[in-house]
Chain A
Amino acid sequence: MLTDTPRKLTIIRDRSDKIFRGVVRAGGSTVLVIMVLVGSFLAFRASQALNKAGWSFFTEQAWEPDAGRFGIAAVIVGTILIATVAIVVALPLSLGTALFITEYAPRKLRSFLVSIVDLMAAIPSVVFGLWGFFFLQQSIVPVSRWISQYFGWIPGLGVTGVDPTDPLATTTVYTSSTFIAGIVVGIMVTPIVTSIMREVFSQTPVGEREGALALGATRWAMIRNVVLPFGQGGIIGGTMLGLGRALGETIAVYMIISPVFFIQPNILQNGASSVAALIALRYGESTEMGLSALMAAGLALFTMTLIVNFGASIVVSRSRSGAAS
């Protein structure tokens, strides 16, 4: 008698399958290759400046490449501060918007709201910059002033060089600040963060939703116990993707801030800095050394953004919603 042996499975792919797999593989690997090329280009061009500056590149605050004194201490801190403000603005805004669109909005309104939010992502950043510079800045100054007056004792919210009892005190100390740039960038990243969260929330299993409702949960209780835990990965991942974009935002920040090259911890005070805005400001005007220094700053930003984005994708893929999608 013959014994049963498992049949060997061979996959025979026809030509169209093979071509499709090849195209998709090529596309996927091209992205990686481009990223590696960008990174190595930056590293190559930055090497001249990095060799000259050495480790002081990470501790020096000034930016005078031609005098040999330059480092990213001030600009990186400035970039992180702007991105932090942006995320503080964007997170509650997008979470609320996404929950409203997926859970509360009437079905007819939903697609309209989705396209409005997507439209926001299509506005060029220079328009946001103009809006921030010509409109938001003068409107936000009283707010900055109020915050600094009552919460100035919290580190980072104080403003030096202004006497609140003096009615003639200049309000320019509150302009061109990390805070204003951060708000504008926050509004810019909101659409991206919102659409990721919305996507994840809408994938919540219907069975679990209905189960919660059947057990007598209110809509809010259902959201809290089913939608939010399920969408946790999407919330974190979306926020981190937004953070990645906020770190690299250029033109809007370039237009609003008054660049300074020392660590400015007071977010409400005039004077801020960001790597991307520094590159936009100095790129056309630099000597070879200056260009190399800018490349080094760009490399630092590139690395930081990569870490943030990889972190985001790891979080997303480990979560229930991410694994499913």
Chain B
Amino acid sequence: MALADARTGSGEPPKVSLLYNPALRSVVYQVVTLVVIIGAVWYAWNNVVQNLARANMTAGFGFLNSRAGFDLAQALIPYSSDSTYFRALQVGLLNTLVVAAAGIVTATIVGLLVGVGRLSHNWLIARLCTIYVEIFRNIPPLLVIFFWYLGVLALLPSIRTIFQNLKEDPNAVFFISNRGIYMPAPVFGEGFGVVLVALLIGIVAAIVFTIWANARQRATGQRPPVLWINLALVVLLPLAVFIVMGQPLTLDYAVPGSFNMKGGMVIGPEFLALYLALSLYTASFIAEIVRAGIRGVSHGQSEASYALGLRPGQATRLVVLPQALRIIIPPLTSQYLNLIKNSSLAVAVGYADLVAVGGTILNQSGKSIEIISIWMLIYVSISLITSLFMNWFNAKMALVER
């Protein structure tokens, strides 16, 4: 017993020199690292201020309230050359977000289709998907952007040709030109808000109904016609309200102006080139990730689901995909972040994204350090928010162990 007591001791570690105490050492290392980092930052900042003072320049963000003086082609919020630099940056940020969001949605859909297509038993589809992946994966994204901008969109009919065609066919409302795609713009009349409210109610009702239907299926085994009832709630209800309210929606058509089409809505070739290039480029990577994810699910899983009597579609949807998603989501997050960052290539084709607008401001005001800090802060924030969301989604999809 005495021996056992001696071995277990009183729970204290053996006495060692302070120099070799692991707990103390780790604390010391961390403190030293922290001091070095703070010192480096302080040194850099101090140098910046001193050097700027020497060059008769000032540091600070006050310049953001100055008048911008330049116009922007694509602005989702009211903007003119009288607006401030800060406003211009907001326009740029919004443009970045729009192209990134649209790109992520399209890249995901195309990537999913192509990734599944590569596994198809149809020889032609599988080969076409392989060719797609190998082409877009192996070309730098900047070249893909130029390909769309100068190789495809610039070759579309000129605005003069459109004017000519309109004389022959005055009823046309939808035009594709090398200045972008023109289409009618919706003008919301009085009472359209009620339709929106109806749509909202329809969506909420559909969600509630789906939850109830699922509960009922679990309880009784009977499945109500969820699809049809949901469609009716989301589409027919707002449509009925729309008609009752006297159709409070008119269209503003694009008509020929002096140099360009006037009115209507236009999607510029700069946006299109960037959006198409980012989507199709990233989709090729997503396709490979999807393929790897599906391949990563043991074949026995599909066989087992067939044995249970599931049809192939159901087996994929209910058994294979949920497991594949666990493999897919983490690398997918990286691709989303890549797409967001690649959107800064916009500057090459003159799409007014955050970097393009910031660059102009930098050039006019000479505030390099401030603008670069703003760029970095914003990109880090967008990326971290995307990561947070994807991590949450990943946790939700992860295997729940009981």
Query: Do A and B come from the same complex?
Result: no
B residues at A contact (CB < 8 Å): none
A residues at B contact (CB < 8 Å): none
